[in-house]
Amino acid sequence: MSSATYRNRVNALAITTSAAFFGANAFIGLSMGSYWLSLAPADFVAQFFPQFSNFLYTIMPLFVAMLVGLILSARLDWQDAPARRNWVIALWLYLSVSLITIFFHMPLNVRLAAAIGSPLGDALGFYKSIALVGPVTEDNAAMIRATWLLGHVPRVLLTLAIAIYSLRALAARRSH
């Protein structure tokens, strides 16, 4: 495979997975978020974790493939300062999404898993220990739902920015 073909494939991986990851996050926030808001808080608690578990089969492979595409693309363009700058920004944005996921959403997800008796709620005790909220109850379920959805907004915007900076990197490289 020629180096140009390899570069094109790596760039395509970065761009398509970042755009797909944005689309998946937008779907979760807008479509599922609207659906979850239409439910009684107790019904949201009962349905969230099983639905979220299904999303993971799509989201996680995209998330990992996006990182591979971003790293390889940045490596290929490391000597090209304008392109490198955009790839590095995309990688920092990826790190930001990762940190929000690890320290904000995962603890809430584990609390919601524990609320329905999922063994994951016990297996991931670390996340329960760093959660912003205590156990999910009928009294706080609506607040936890709103917190989860509001916390998802930055993720959607950051994932859009990753796709934009990936495209900017490609345009920066080709413009000179």
Question: What is the CA angle 73-79-83, rounded to 5?
Answer: 55
At residue 157, does pLDDT exceed 70?
yes
At residue 107, does pLDDT exceed 90?
yes
Structure tokens at 135: 């156990």
CB 166 within 8 A of CB 86: yes
Total tally of structural domains belonging to the chain:
1
pLDDT of residue 153: 97
DSSP 89-106: HHHHHHHHHHHHIIIIIH
Confidence of residue 176 (pLDDT cuts 50, 70, 90): low
pLDDT of residue 175: 66
| Calpha distance 65→108 (Å, rounded) | 25
| Calpha distance 150→156 (Å, rounded) | 10
**Residue 123 belongs to domain spanning:** 3-174
| Calpha distance 119→114 (Å, rounded) | 7
| Calpha distance 73→80 (Å, rounded) | 11
The pTM for the full model equals 0.93
Confidence of residue 53 (pLDDT cuts 50, 70, 90): confident
pLDDT tens digits, one per residue of 143-152: 999 999 999 9
Judging by beta carbons within 10 Å of its beta carbon (0-12, 13-18, 19+), is residue 127 exposed, middle or buried? buried
CA distances from 85 to 7, 10, 75, 93, 98 (A): 17, 17, 12, 12, 20
